[in-house]
Chain A
């Protein structure tokens, strides 16, 4: 398939495109012998280029910028405070995304997004910070928490103009957002920790390879 990893049916919300992929796959059942390795010829439509994404973003900001909430458990670190503000600023876009799609993929951590952010911020300051769940290893909770944050961010941002490609979304997340800064910092902390499973997270499961080595 000429599609990127993560999109085996090619194009989200394009039922006819997806059915053409399925029909091509089912057509293989008619072959009289195999195994077969058939290249699928139809590529995804080029709805937007990274350049046009960037142009579309000129002058755009999130619609709402909430002040810090009066919260006794709120992070006090600079990055923690910034993360809380960023999470709040994305809330209206996330609400639009959920309403538009009728679903969200946020939630496997079992933590409200703001609590997931607090845990990430706390971990960046103190790797012995109390884990908000006691029914699974802290590293697993941490992983689920930052994956929920990523899902919250990317569901929200893809509702905005200028984010038509997954690469543009990923670049924004890891190069422009506070969460991205936090995740790069988390990666460094985990990589310095040789103990499993934090070492594994740092080496393999925080920042995508193509952000670390763009040439690859």
Chain B
């Protein structure tokens, strides 16, 4: 996550006032296997979607699926915000969606494996608005054997 002082004023105010209550009784701390036995999936808030999939609508709370073997040329970004850099993404998908890096780390034995499916949402919505999407994503991840999720905010 970028440092708050680097965030444009409008986004900064939104983040500072974002309602993040409702998670007080959750148990966020869990343990897992060693890193070289973990199966890793990505979740990005960059509103990435496949060219063949629907673009993100403004204020949408749905999600999109990015296959683990996707060709980077098939991934586009349809986030509504104009207040973050896209030139890095244009030059290298991995700068915001490090799928190729995960495959390299799996090949090197640093992580166990890479999930078959990865997911994106469009950031900027109150977290609880995304609950249905989060639960649907989690169900698929469980079926895919995923035990580690890398949350990559844009």
Contacts and interface: CB of A to CB of B under 8 A. Distances in A.
Interface in B99-154: 100-102, 104-105, 110-111, 148, 150, 152-154
Contacts of B58: 140, 197, 200, 205
Interface string A1-13: 1111111111111
B154 A108 contact: no
A50 B53 CA distance: 38
Contact of B6 (A4, A25, A155): A4
A29 B36 CA distance: 12
A88 interface: no
Contacts of B29: 33-35
Nearest to B108: A19
Nearest to B81: A205
A160 interface: no
A108 B76 contact: yes
B1 A1 contact: yes
B105 A22 contact: yes
Contacts of A103: 71-73, 93
Interface residues of A, number: 54
A15 B90 contact: no
Contact of A7 (B51, B88, B101): B88
A194 interface: no
A78 B63 CA distance: 41
10 contacts: A2-B6, A6-B89, A8-B96, A23-B110, A105-B86, A166-B85, A166-B88, A205-B82, A206-B82, A208-B8
Interface of B: 1-3, 6-11, 28-29, 32, 35, 38, 49, 51, 55, 57-58, 71-73, 75-78, 80-96, 98, 100-102, 104-105, 110-111, 148, 150, 152-154
